[in-house]
C-alpha cells in the first residue's frame, strides 16, 4: 500500500498500463496497437496513439526482448576502429540496420583473441540476434564459440561449417587483375607486391590473386618483390625500404591495402622519388582518404556499403527466416579498379 502511494507521488516513466488507463483500453490493445496488429479498431487505435503521444511513452525494450525472445540487436566486430576502412563499414552497417529497426553493438578486436572472446561474450549476454565478424579471418578458434551458442554469424572470407554461419566472399580477383593489367598497359614489368600479414585470410587471398594475375599477364615475379607487411602505414614505409634496398627495384608497387600504399607514398617522398613518374603505387580498399593523398591514390575499390549490406542481409535472413530452405549462405562482394594519380608509365631509365 505504502508502495502504491509512492508510485503515485513520483512521476514514473509511463508504462503500458499507464497508457491503457489513459486510453481506457486493456494493455493488450495497447500492445497490439504499438505492434501494428490489424485486429485493432480505428477508434481504439486512435485513442491509444493519442495517449501514447500525450504521455510521451515508448516501450521498454528489455521487457519486450524478454518476452518475445527477440532483442533486435546485432553485433559487429571489426579489427580496429582506428583503421579508416572500418568506421566507413560500421556507418553503412548501422544505417541499414537502423533502417530495419535493429540496433547495433560495435566492438574492435584489435587482433587480440582474448579481447575477441570477451566481445563475443558481451554480445551473447545482450542476446544479439546475430554477429558480423568483419575481422577478415584472424581469430578462427573463438568463432566456434559463437556458433556453439546458436547465434547467426557472418564472416568475411572465412567459411565456418555451421548451419548458422554464412560467409561473404570478396572477389579480389577482378580488381587485382584489372590493376595488374593497368600497370602492364602503362609499360610496367617490374611490379612488386606489399602483402598483408599472413595471419589474415584476406591477405593471403590478395597475394594469391596477385600472383595469379601476374602469371596471366605473363609477367615474372621476382622473389624479393613480394614482401609481407602489416596493413598499417608504418608497415608500408618499412616495406618500401625493403624493396628499395634491392639491387633491381620495381617500377610499380601494388599494396594489399590503402594504408600500406599511403606508407609507400610517404616513404617515396622521403627518398625524393616522384610518384608516379619514378614509382607507380596502387592501393586496395579505396578508403575515403585515398582521394586526398598526394598524389591521389589509384586503388582497387572494395565497397564498404556493399559489404555492410551483405553482412546485414545475411544476419537478417538467419534471424527472421531461419526455416527458409533456400537461405543464402554465401554472398559475393566485388572489387573494381579506380584510376587516379599515383600510376603512370615508368620513366625510360626505369627500363
Interface contacts to a second copy, rule CB under 8 A: 13, 58-63, 65-66, 71, 81-82, 84, 86-88, 90-91, 94, 98, 103-108, 118, 121-122, 124-127, 149-150, 233, 262-263, 265-266, 269, 288-289, 292, 294
Q: Which is nearer to DNA, 68 or 328 (CB)?
A: 68
Cα–Cα distance between 127 and 251 in angstroms, integer?
A: 52
Nearest distance in Å: CB 57, DNA? 7
Residue 91 binding: pick among DNA, a second copy, none (C-beta 5-8 Å cut-off by kind): a second copy
Nearest distance in Å: CB 199, DNA? 36
Residues 6+ apart with CB under 8 A from 317: 166, 324, 327, 328
Nearest distance in Å: CB 322, DNA? 15
Nearest distance in Å: CB 24, DNA? 7
Nearest distance in Å: CB 247, a second copy? 28
| Cell matching residue 24 | 481506457
Pick from 28, 64, 33: which is nearest to 48 by CA?
A: 33
Nearest distance in Å: CB 74, DNA? 19
Pick from 22, 28, 24: which is nearest to 52 by CA?
A: 22
CB 130 within 8 A of CB 123: no
Q: Which is nearer to DNA, 30 or 133 (CB)?
A: 30
Cα-based angle 221, 223, 225 (whole degrees, multiple of 5): 75
Looking up cell 591495402 gives 257
Alpha-carbon 284 to chain mean position: 15
Residue 288 binding: pick among a second copy, DNA, none (C-beta 5-8 Å cut-off by kind): a second copy
Residue 15 binding: pick among DNA, a second copy, none (C-beta 5-8 Å cut-off by kind): DNA
Residue 40 binding: pick among a second copy, DNA, none (C-beta 5-8 Å cut-off by kind): DNA
Residue 248 binding: pick among DNA, a second copy, none (C-beta 5-8 Å cut-off by kind): none
For residue 337, the SS3 value is strand
Alpha-carbon 205 to chain mean position: 17
Which DSSP string do the residues of 67-107 spell out, in sequence order? HHS---EEEEEES-TTSTHHHHHHHHHHHHHHHTT-EEEEE
Q: Which is nearer to DNA, 36 or 141 (CB)?
A: 36
Q: Which is nearer to a second copy, 103 or 162 (CB)?
A: 103
Cα–Cα distance between 283 and 280 in angstroms, integer?
A: 10
Q: Which is nearer to a second copy, 226 or 289 (CB)?
A: 289
Q: Which is nearer to DNA, 17 or 159 (CB)?
A: 17
CB 164 within 8 A of CB 148: no
Cα–Cα distance between 243 and 294 in angstroms, integer?
A: 21
Pick from 175, 170, 174: which is nearest to 298 by CA?
A: 175
Nearest distance in Å: CB 94, DNA? 23
Residue 82 binding: pick among DNA, a second copy, none (C-beta 5-8 Å cut-off by kind): a second copy
Q: Which is nearer to a second copy, 159 or 274 (CB)?
A: 274
Amino acid at each position: 500500500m505504502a508502495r502504491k502511494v509512492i508510485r503515485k507521488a513520483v512521476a514514473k516513466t509511463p508504462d503500458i498500463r499507464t497508457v491503457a488507463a489513459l486510453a481506457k483500453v486493456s494493455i493488450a490493445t495497447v500492445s497490439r496497437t504499438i505492434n501494428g496488429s490489424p485486429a485493432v479498431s480505428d477508434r481504439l487505435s486512435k485513442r491509444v496513439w493519442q495517449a501514447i503521444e500525450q504521455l510521451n511513452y515508448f516501450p521498454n525494450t528489455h521487457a519486450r526482448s524478454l518476452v518475445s525472445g527477440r532483442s533486435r540487436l546485432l553485433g559487429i566486430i571489426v579489427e580496429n576502429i582506428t583503421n579508416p576502412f572500418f568506421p566507413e563499414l560500421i556507418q553503412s552497417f548501422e544505417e541499414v540496420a537502423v533502417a530495419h529497426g535493429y540496433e547495433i553493438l560495435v566492438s574492435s578486436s584489435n587482433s587480440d583473441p582474448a579481447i575477441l572472446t570477451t566481445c563475443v561474450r558481451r554480445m551473447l549476454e545482450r542476446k544479439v540476434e546475430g554477429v558480423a565478424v568483419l575481422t577478415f579471418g584472424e581469430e578462427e578458434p573463438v568463432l566456434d564459440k559463437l556458433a556453439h551458442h546458436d547465434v547467426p554469424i557472418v564472416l568475411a572470407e572465412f567459411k565456418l561449417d555451421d548451419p548458422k554461419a554464412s560467409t561473404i566472399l570478396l572477389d579480389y580477383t577482378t580488381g587485382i587483375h584489372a590493376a595488374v593489367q593497368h600497370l602492364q598497359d602503362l609499360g610496367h614489368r617490374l611490379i612488386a607486391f606489399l602483402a598483408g600479414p599472413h595471419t589474415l585470410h584476406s591477405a593471403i587471398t590478395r597475394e594469391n590473386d596477385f600472383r595469379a594475375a601476374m602469371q596471366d599477364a605473363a609477367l615474372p615475379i621476382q622473389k624479393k618483390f613480394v614482401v609481407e607487411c602489416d596493413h598499417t602505414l608504418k608497415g608500408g614505409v618499412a616495406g618500401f625500404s625493403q624493396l628499395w634496398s634491392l639491387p633491381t627495384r620495381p617500377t610499380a608497387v601494388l599494396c594489399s591495402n590503402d594504408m600500406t600504399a599511403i606508407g609507400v607514398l610517404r616513404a617515396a617522398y622521403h627518398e625524393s622519388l616522384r610518384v608516379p613518374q619514378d614509382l607507380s603505387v596502387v592501393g586496395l580498399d579505396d578508403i575515403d582518404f585515398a582521394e586526398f593523398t598526394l598524389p591521389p591514390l589509384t586503388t582497387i575499390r572494395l565497397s564498404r556499403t556493399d559489404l555492410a549490406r551483405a553482412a546485414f542481409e545475411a544476419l537478417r535472413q538467419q534471424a527472421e527466416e531461419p526455416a527458409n530452405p533456400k537461405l543464402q549462405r554465401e554472398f559475393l562482394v566485388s572489387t573494381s579498379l579506380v584510376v587516379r594519380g599515383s600510376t603512370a608509365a615508368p620513366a625510360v631509365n626505369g627500363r
